[in-house]
Amino acid sequence: MPIKWVLHWQPNQGSTVSSQILNEASECVESINGVKEGRWKATLNYYKPILKDEANQSEFPRDFLGISLADEPDKYYFIIKSQRIVVEADTNILSIMEKLQSYKSKVALYFEGFQYQLGDFRFRIGKVVPTHSENVRGIVMEVDYLPISSIKTANKLMEEFMEIWHEALAKRSLPGKFVNIDINFEEYGLGDIYTPQHTAVHYALVMADMIATVQAARG
């Protein structure tokens, strides 16, 4: 699959994220000739163990996530960030997890928005919302460079393209910026050729960063 960067909106200190920023960012893609293609959606679940004795919670991972991605609707991805594990499975795994009754979802988040094509690039910009709520908790942006799958090969080109993007967005004087997290994919056993597992790891780290930002803002 093509190389992808997953960026997220980092608000300036004292400011909050809102759907207005999503609108501005979407308009910005259109202003640089991005062509709107349709909607996209991804979902993320935080799981917690079902325990006989809650006192032993520390024995179990607290950062066990499951993700369904827009690129691979028939697959499901699990990540345990603290142990650098990413697993790809068929969506049948969700029925197996249901039968096992050992973990259950404690929080579910949706990522949803519009997809744009811009030459050899594909943009997906979307808001992060909890289920049963319209409160925007964050904004994510996927940027694919369709001709290349090698992370190393595409890196410089992606950096240059993101500079153009940041310049275009800077004209709108928004209270924050899109940031890219530098990830050591090797730690997760992933190679240089980009796969959906890379995207799943990206999302897990983006979420961790968003949560850390919110917690830091709350002091």
Partner 1 sequence: MECVVQGIIETQHVEALEILLQGLCGVQRERLRVHELCLKSGPNLGVVTSDVRLLCDLDQPDPTWTVKHVGGAMRGAGADQISVMVRTMIESKVSKNSLRMFYALGYKLDHELLKVGFAFHFQRTAHISVSVSSVNKMPKVHAIDEAVPVTHGMQIVDVTAPATPENYSEVAAAVSSFCEFLAPLVHLSKPFISTGVVPTAAAAAASLMSDGGGTTL
Interface residues with partner 1 (CB under 8 A) are 49-53, 56, 59-61, 64, 78, 80, 83, 85-93, 95-96, 99-103, 189, 197
Task: Give me the DSSP letters along 112-180.
Answer: EEEEEEETTEEEEEEEEEETT-----EEEEEEEETT--BHHHHHHHHHHHHHHHHHHHHTT--SEEEEE
- Residue with Cβ nearer partner 1 (197 or 213): 197
Nearest-approach distance from CB 86 to partner 1, in angstroms? 8
- Residue with Cβ nearer partner 1 (50 or 217): 50
Contact status, residue 69 vs residue 4, Cβ threshold 8 Å: no
Nearest-approach distance from CB 145 to partner 1, in angstroms? 25
Nearest to 3 by CA among 168, 179, 156: 156
Nearest-approach distance from CB 12 to partner 1, in angstroms? 37
Distance separating alpha carbons of residues 154 and 126, to the nearest angstrom? 23
Contact status, residue 206 vs residue 124, Cβ threshold 8 Å: no
- Residue with Cβ nearer partner 1 (12 or 102): 102
In sequence order, the 6+-apart residues with CB closer than 8 A to the CB of 123 are 29, 34, 115, 116, 117, 141, 142, 143, 144
Nearest-approach distance from CB 82 to partner 1, in angstroms? 9
Contact status, residue 138 vs residue 9, Cβ threshold 8 Å: yes
- Residue with Cβ nearer partner 1 (93 or 146): 93
- Residue with Cβ nearer partner 1 (55 or 216): 55
- Residue with Cβ nearer partner 1 (100 or 216): 100
Nearest-approach distance from CB 134 to partner 1, in angstroms? 33
Q: Token pair of 19, please?
A: 């759907």
Distance separating alpha carbons of residues 96 and 116, to the nearest angstrom? 35
Nearest-approach distance from CB 102 to partner 1, in angstroms? 4
